[in-house]
Amino acid sequence: MRLVLLGAPGSGKGTQAARLKSDLGVPHISTGDMLRAAVKAGTPVGLKAKAVMDAGKLVSDDILLAMLEERLAQADAKAGFILDGYPRNLAQAAALDDLLARIGKPLSAVVKLDVPNETIIGRCEIRFAAEHRKDDNPEVVRDRLKVYAEQTAPVADFYAQRGKLQVVDGVGALDEVTARVKRALAAAA
């Protein structure tokens, strides 16, 4: 299974990916985690990313794609993967499709977790109070939701046009949402 999980920040992508990875027998690949690991390991692409990050800039799509290609070449991703946090825009979606076509591993499915903004803000407020994560501050979350609506939401249409998109209600108990995602994956197979 080669899967992309889409959804606004706080929609539960990481939580669902962590729950699905053992069932599917594939790694959960978070671009943020991947970036930090490549920098820590000192890989050639990681060193490029570190220089960009140390300068206070965003890592380019080219660097992210190169890191992703390195990650997908690892043995644990041979049977598939769950991508979380990538693609974030239409250019990344097109580049990912090109990469996967080139390496002969096209996506099996794209699942979008649909969660209202008010619910996301509430979830993040709870997490902010408990964990004090800067990216869960309600003002930061509102800004991230605006960026998501402008840049990432159109990615769902990109995959819908290719017949890959499954939209899942991401509100409810974790087990209920996971069951919905699994049904969507079965329908996509």
Q: Any idea what the CATH number is for the domain that residue 54 is in? A: 3.40.50.300
103-137 in b/e burial notation, b at 16+ Cβ within 10 A?
eeeebbbbbbbebebeebbebbeeebeeeeeeebe
Which pLDDT value is given to residue 108? 95
Residues 6+ apart with CB under 8 A from 66: 45
The Cα 160–Cα 111 span in angstroms is: 10
Domain count, the chain: 1
The Cα 60–Cα 81 span in angstroms is: 22
pLDDT tens series, the chain, 189 aa? 999 999 998 899 999 999 999 999 999 998 878 888 888 999 888 888 888 877 777 788 888 898 899 899 999 999 999 999 899 999 999 999 999 999 999 999 999 999 999 999 999 899 888 988 777 888 888 988 998 999 999 999 999 999 999 999 999 999 999 999 999 999 987
- To the question of pTM greater than 0.95 for the whole model, the response is no
What domain range includes position 171?
A: 2-188
Q: Which residues pair with 2 in a beta bridge?
A: 81
Which pLDDT value is given to residue 85? 80
Which pLDDT value is given to residue 104? 94
Which pLDDT value is given to residue 178? 97
- Residue 31 parent element (H or E): helix 31-41
